[in-house]
Amino acid sequence: MSVSAKTVGGRPATGTLSLPWIIAASSVGTLIEWYDFYLYGVLAVFFSKHFFSPAMDPNVALIASLFVFWTGFLVRPFGAIVFGHLGDLIGRKFTFMLTLLLMGSATFIVGLLPGYDTIGNFAPILLVTMRVLQGLALGGEYGGAATYIAEHSPDGRRGFYTSWIQTTATLGIVLALAVILVCRLGFGDQAFGDWGWRVPFLISAVLVGLSIYIRLKLEESPLYARLKEQGKASHNPALESFSSGKNWGLILFALFGATAPEGVVWYTGQFYALFYLTTVLHIDYVTVYI
């Protein structure tokens, strides 16, 4: 979503809501989307057992389940483009709701998907489809939340206020680990391995419902509304963003110069470490999660 609108009027516009409430409401929704996105990564070992052929080598099945996890990352930039475009055309609030519903629906469906023993090769195909939808939703949500907060923030403080969105990534994995830990301890290893792993995905419906309730109280960005009223809003934001050679330099630098290296370090530390500690070193999952 374009943030050029923030310069109009040179002042913050928060409508009738306070800036702390706007930040909190935006962050809660983003946190829940990260929770949904991370559940798969933490539970990849269980997916390798349920969604791939039993004849497949267990190590190969685990790699395949991690590949499915990767597809969510592959489409995230496209989610940012699609939903960023929609956000500039029809408004931030509607796009907020759309990404949240898409992520919540895909996550809930994962909890209901039949395994390989039931539908064969359709199981991994449907799993990949849900991961793609999750990646698209998160790609649109993360940038959209930052843009929404930026358009409400005063000059000189936008970096500080939008930085709160970044904390939701860490809180998302903490929430995912906490829910999974409670479920594993409550159901026991056998039951959790058979069907209990689905519960954290189904719980997402409750969390998404709560987030929707909170976000319904948000207002459209007054800054964006003023630009629309004045006829200054972009009519083709995606084209305008990618038709400039100057923008391409910034885009490539952001993707491969900053985001990609940071992503490798983050996800290696957060997820591969989990797999290594539990599957190679055979450390108790309670110790690993905590």
d(CA 238, CA 83): 10
Closest by CA position to 218, among listed 7, 8, 88, 27: 27
Q: What is the pLDDT of residues 54-86, one digit of tens each?
A: 999 988 998 899 889 889 888 988 998 888 888
Tell me the C-alpha to C-alpha distance, in Å, between residue 256 and each of 72, 197, 239, 250, 269.
17, 34, 21, 10, 19
Q: What pLDDT sits at residue 132?
A: 94
Average pLDDT, rounded, for the chain? 85
Q: What pLDDT sits at residue 11?
A: 47
d(CA 243, CA 241): 6
Q: What is the pLDDT of residues 246-286, one digit of tens each?
A: 778 887 887 777 777 877 887 777 778 888 888 888 899 89
d(CA 53, CA 235): 49
Answer whether residue 52 shows pLDDT above 50.
Answer: yes
- With pLDDT > 90 as the criterion, what percentage of the chain qualifies? 31
Answer whether residue 193 shows pLDDT above 80.
Answer: yes
Q: What pLDDT sits at residue 4?
A: 42
Q: What is the pLDDT of residues 88-142, one digit of tens each?
A: 888 888 888 899 899 999 999 999 999 999 999 999 999 999 999 999 998 888 8
Q: What pLDDT sits at residue 8?
A: 43
Q: What angle do CA 112, 70, 129 make, to 5 degrees?
A: 40
Q: What is the pLDDT of residues 141-157, one digit of tens each?
A: 888 888 888 888 888 88
Q: Which residues contact 192 (CB under 8 A, 6 or more apart)?
A: 183, 184
**CATH code assigned to 16-243:** 1.20.1250.20
- Check residue 198 and report its DSSP letter: G
Give yes or no for a contact between 278 and 285, defined as CB atoms under 8 angstroms apart: yes
Which tokens hold the place of 226?
A: 């003023």
Q: Which residues contact 234 (CB under 8 A, 6 or more apart)?
A: 2, 4, 88, 240
* Residue boundaries of the structural domains of the chain: 16-243
d(CA 277, CA 196): 22
Q: What is the pLDDT of residues 27-49, one digit of tens each?
A: 888 888 889 888 988 898 899 99
φ/ψ bin of 244: left (φ > 0), alpha (ψ from -120 to 50), beta (otherwise) = beta
